[in-house]
Amino acid sequence: MRIVAGELGGRRIAAARGGAVRPTTDRLREAVFSILGDVTGLEFLDLFAGTGAVALEAISRGAVAATLVDTDVATAAANAGALGAGDRCHIVREDAIRFLRRDRGRYDIVYCDPPYRLARRLASDLGQLLPDRIRPGGRVIVESAAEDPIELPLPLLDSRRYGGTAIRIHGSAR
C-alpha cells in the first residue's frame, strides 16, 4: 500500500496483519479523492480508520488535520509516525459509535468505512449521529459492500460502484 498523491505521494504504508482489516485500496482512494477535489485546509474524520490510509491520503493532499478512530489504532499510529504526519493526526482508540456519541467536534469531511459484516447493524446509529458531526457544506463518504450500501438521512450527492465496493457521498443537511 502507498499514499497515492500529494506531499507524501508514493510513500509506502504498512498494512495491518491478519484478516481483521480490509484496507481501502490505492485505486479506490485515488477515485474518492478525485471526486472530492481539493481538500486543502479541511478537517477530516476517518471512522473505522484501520491502517489510516484514507486519513493519511487526506493529510498528504493538504487537509490541515485528521482524526482517526478505531478500536485498534496501532497500525494507523505507526503509519502516521513513519510518514512524519503524527502532528496533524489525532489518533483515537475507541469504538466509532461511542466516539460519535461523545465527541462534539464538527468536520469538513467524514470518511466512514465500517466492517462490511457490521454495516447494516451500524446504519441506524450512523444515520442518527453523523449529521451533527459535519459542518455546513461538509461531506460524508461511506464505503460499503456494493450489494448492501448504507443509507443515510443526508442528501446524496454522488454514488459510485468499484467492483464489490460502493462509495456514496452525502452532503450536509444544513
Residue 9 located in a structural domain:
no
Dihedral of CA atoms 170, 45, 42, 172 in degrees, nearest 10, equals 30
Residue 12 located in a structural domain:
no
Residue 11 located in a structural domain:
no
Based on the structure, what is the number of domains in the chain? 1
Residue 38 located in a structural domain:
yes
Question: What percentage of the chain carries pLDDT values higher than 90?
Answer: 68
Residue 89's domain spans which residues? 26-171
Q: Using alpha carbons, list the distances in angstroms from residue 20 to 32, 76, 114, 117.
A: 23, 14, 12, 11
Which positions of the chain have pLDDT values less than 50?
A: none
Angle formed at CA 148 by CA 143 and CA 149, multiple of 5 degrees: 40
Q: Model confidence over 119-138: pLDDT tens digits?
A: 888 999 999 999 999 999 99
* pLDDT for res 62: 96
- Domain containing residue 130: CATH number: 3.40.50.150
Residue 142 located in a structural domain:
yes
Q: Model confidence over 36-56: pLDDT tens digits?
A: 999 999 999 999 999 999 999
Residue 41 located in a structural domain:
yes
Residue 93 located in a structural domain:
yes
What's the pTM? 0.91
